[in-house]
Structure 1
Amino acid sequence: MAEEGTPLLRLSGIAKSYGPVQANRGIDLTVRPNSIHAILGENGAGKSTLMKMIYGVEAPDAGTIAWRGAPVSPASPADARKLGIGMVFQHFSLFETLTVLENVALVVPGKLSDLASRITDLGREYGLDVNPNSLVHALSVGERQRVEILRCLMLDPALLILDEPTSVLPPQMVDRLFVTLRVLRDRGVSILFISHKLEEIRALCDDATILRDGTVTGRVDPREASARELATMMIGRAMPPPLPAEIGTPGAAMLELAGLDWAGPDPFAPSLSNLSLRVRAGEIVGIAGISGNGQSELAGLISGETALPRSRMGEILLGDAPVGHLGAAERRRRGLAFVPEERLGHGAVPELSLWQNAILTAHGRGLVRRGMVDRRRARDFAKECIADFDVRTPGDHAEAGALSGGNLQKFVVGREIMLEPKVLFVQQPTWGVDVGAAAAIRRRLIEMRNAGCAILVISEEIEELFEVSDRLYVLRSGKLSPPLVTSDTTYEEVGEWMIGAAEGTAHAV
């Protein structure tokens, strides 16, 4: 039994290296009982590695971990869970061929019928609804994150590690989740909270530890610092000023949906009903919505990964040409670039190097000639992307799977932007990306818009859509809201459309 005043968790001198890359150096961290403790840092600062050592996924090269005052060495997540530590990873740890219920049952003891009821009840309570019988491979990224959060909560942990837990929630549900987290804290659960949403950290957290380049560079009470001050401490320099809007008159329609309907083979997936929207040259159109309302299905149809029958090819147009029947490669040849929401395994092949991943979509830029890969051109392309988008990596030879989530996201987004497309379609452009990198990506999107590109953005971060979008829609239950003029719309109104509570007339165009 720990003495009164003993920290719940204390790390001393923690270090971890992967070959020549030192992920953590001399980390000291103390988590008090009954506290919500934020971990802040840029992508590649060492946050995920540190959390993996606490959770038993990795072993430190040096230093000690103390739990309730006693030294411990968790050798696996099972060891950590026995101590009372739960974790939701940024990259999920679910079996895709199993159902939600079966994934939960692998970790949480109990009868399947009881577990199913608990999943439903907790999901409703926290605003994290998910069907216990859905197969994980059919779930969107956001829905998978809900499963991870619920699975941790069902273990009744003493320390809960949350990595970007609010990225799938509308504002109303974020507030509700925060109430829940505060209740958990007051009942004796400590929380390690990783988020790039600095205002959330200021509103929720009692303590914050800041990492930069694998070391602790500061400790602060986030309630006593502004978001800009926290951002500056994270990145070690002042945040760049916002890019002037320079909004001009949009040009011709470059992407159009005309009464798009879709019902896929998955009985658990939402159907799309009569979707119509238009994205013009020189504008950014955003699509908001809670994950699992048809975003993944819509993305597959727009990107060409899911093709329509030739008889319905006019439901999707690039320029004035019907392309609904065409595959992804042909749509790319016609000027469409696409950033999928799942960067690892979909946007990039984990086992391939960055220069090899560049070839996947940039082969038409002279990287492949007469069926042969031009290695020099491919490496030059990858190096330019790494430099322009500040991808923290040893070089273009690094495997995609070895990068942090945020750095891989910067590479995938940068690769598509460098193609200079006529139409850019991006899902979750800054998911898991730190505040400095997120600002840079959004700035590049606005620059592309100002240069005449037509851009469609699907994002579950309302703040992001308000920052970059000229108009936006809300996707709910496979249906789109009327178009909303961003400058005439509030966060609360968008949130109401997301949960089906919107009333009155939208600010349509």
Structure 2
Amino acid sequence: MTARLQLAGVSKAYPGVVANDDISLSVAGGEIHAILGENGAGKSTLMKIIYGVTTPDAGEIRYDGKLLEAHSPGQSRALGIEMVYQHFSLFETVSVAENVALCLEGRLDLPALRLRIRETAARYGLAVDPDRIVMDLSMGERQQLEILRCLMRDPRLLILDEPTSVLSPQAVEQLFTVLRRIAAEGCSIIYISHKLDEVRALCHAATVLRGGRVTGEVDPRQATSHELAVMMVGSDLPIPERPASTPSATPRLSLRGLSGRPLGLAGRRLQDISLDLFGGEVVGIAGISGNGQSELAACLSGEALCPAGQVLLGETPVGQMRPDARRRAGLAYVPEERLGRGAVPGQSLTANTVLTGYASGLVRHGMVRFAEARRRASAVIERFSVKADGPGALASSLSGGNLQKFILGRELALAPDVLVVAQPTWGVDVGAAAFIRQRLIDLSRDGAAVLVFSEELDELIEICDRIHVLSEGQLSEAVPREEATKDRLGALMTGGELGPVAEPAE
């Protein structure tokens, strides 16, 4: 049988780095094929070559047995090749239906398109409302929209780059059902993920990259997650160290009766949220995407003002303060959306360091101290093993995982009293994820208060001293780490044990 996709000797080099080095692999029709590797191993470059965004320096690509020479993404789509990027490509100020319309040919008929979107979403079990504005969607909802846009074009080869990074466990199972269904219909799927348990559960084959080269091929169903991780990083993974927590005597961050819709009527209503966060501890916020995480994070960071209730840093009310005032008061924040919110894509790592370091010596008397900013950016690159071409590299040139490491390192360099971080290891390889989790634990044990929003229950159980669950805008009581299990947290995520809720006034 002719393979759907064949690569032979594909290579691509950039100044100072060989991204892909003599890569060969084959993907059969209806096969779900994983591409594994550390951040910077060459996975994204290879996918861009297949999709036609990047031209290889050497090698050949065959699609259904035919040589696929220099081609564009438009030509790829005409052949039935679709790709969902790790960083979404959506227009935020228009509706879901209008975003879908932009990827379809023919005359625009919005009423008919809305109906078609609803039918396709229902067929595949996706929660996509064609009338919602994209800027009001959670990251998980945006992921589903990206996948639906591809499914609307009946793909024959679907490339997914970290598709479950921001999905809840329930949404992941739903997505797997979708992927198995379209694979059974003959569509081949290239699946990039750092979640090895998911790869083992879903994929029929896996190719492992390290340093831009193929270092192994394996049936992931016959391997353990540990074996796959060792193949990726070339060594055993470190075991996180968790010294005993010694909480501060008074809270570093307090929420008092936080209620309302901070992101407007389309967003989730927060319902009487109260929380004390002490120095010396890591506290987790679990929950299914769309249950108020974005709204609560916005209230904490200052991206939205608190509709009702209080946010206190120490004893200082900050609920009506701008983000810069909160940063000067000791708060640091890592958003879940790296490009555009965590970092400016077209600016250098040095400039991105200034964005949040202005209050810690990088700006004096209105003048930017660029030499100090470069030094600080270089220190973050070195300490966090960020694969980048120095502090002058553009943020957009980094892989997703390396950019995440840089953003987190930039915030830790500020020595914050309180760190709020959303999805800290989204799209990060297993080795880097272990490093990041250790740094969060270390920061807390140095006296800071750390609040982590994550849909990775294993991650929260590993690093947190206690965990709350956010469900339908309501925060559960804390679950101590020693009592936290995936079953118990899962029950809370679906609304169990939360208790009665008084409906707040509009």
Q: Shorter-chain TM-score category?
A: over 0.9
**Alignment map for 1:71-470 (pairs within 5 Å):** 71-73=67-69, 75-108=71-104, 111-124=109-122, 126=124, 128-249=126-247, 251-264=249-262, 266-308=264-306, 315-470=310-465
Q: What's the secondary structure of 2:257's corresponding residue? A: strand
- The one of 483, 486, 498 equivalent to 2:493 is 498
Counterpart amino acid of residue 116 in structure 1 = R
Q: Mean Cα displacement is larger for which, 112-121 or 87-96?
A: 112-121
- C-alpha contact 1:171 1:492 (8 A) present in aligned 2: no
In 2, are the aligned partners of 1:127 and 1:173 still within 8 Å (CA)?
Answer: no
1:130 aligned partner, one-letter code: V
Render the CA deviation track for 1:356-409: whole Å, top value 9, x for unaligned: 211111223322233222222211111110011110011111111111111111
Q: What amino acid is aligned across from residue 354 of structure 1 in structure 2?
A: L
Q: Structure 1 runs of 4+ off > 4 angstroms?
A: 124-127, 503-506
1:63 aligned partner, one-letter code = G
Give the superposition deviation at 1:52.
1.3
Partner Cα separation in structure 1 for residue 246 and residue 222 of structure 2: 40
2:304 aligned partner, one-letter code: T
In 1, Cα distance between equivalents of 2:210 and 2:118: 40
Pick closer, same or farther for the CA change 1:265–1:489 going to 2, 3 Å: closer
Q: Which residue of 2 aligns with 1:24?
A: 20
Q: How far is the alpha carbon of 1:178 from its aligned partner?
A: 2.0
Paired with 2:166 and 2:348, the residues of 1 have a C-alpha distance of 30
Separation in 2, partners of 1:317, 1:48:
42
| Offset of residue 126 of structure 1 | 4.8
Secondary structure of 1:401's counterpart equals helix
Amino acid at match of 1:232: V
Does the 8 Å CA contact 1:36/1:205 hold for their aligned counterparts? yes
Q: How does 1:31-42 map to 2 (within 5 A)?
A: 31-42=27-38
Q: Which moved more, 1:174-183 or 1:286-295?
A: 174-183
Distance of aligned partners of 1:127 and 1:475 in 2 relative to their CA distance in 1, 3 Å threshold: farther
Residue among 39, 51, 57 paired with 2:53: 57
Report the more deviating stretch, 172-181 or 327-336. 172-181
CA distance in 1, matches of 2:119, 2:492: 23
Q: Give the aligned length.
A: 498
1:264 CA drift (Å): 4.1
Contact 2:247 / 2:278 at 8 angstroms: preserved in 1? Answer: no
CA deviation map 1:291-327 (0-9, x unaligned): 2222222212101122347xx5x61111122111211
Give the secondary-structure state (helix, strand or coil) at the position aligned to 2:295.
Answer: helix
Cα offsets for 1:447-497 (capped at 9, x unmatched): 112222111111122222122122222223322233222321321332333
| Change in 2 beyond 3 A, CA 1:30/1:265 | closer
Does structure 2 retain, via aligned residues, the 8 Å contact 1:170–1:495? no
Q: Distance in 2 between matches of 1:128 and 1:255?
A: 37
Query: Structure 2: which 5+ runs fail to align?
Result: 501-506
Q: Which has the higher mean CA deviation after the structures are superposed, 121-130 or 481-490?
A: 121-130
Identical-pair percentage = 54
| AA at the equivalent of 1:67 | Y
CA distance in structure 1 between the aligned counterparts of 2:117 and 2:451, rounded to whole angstroms: 34
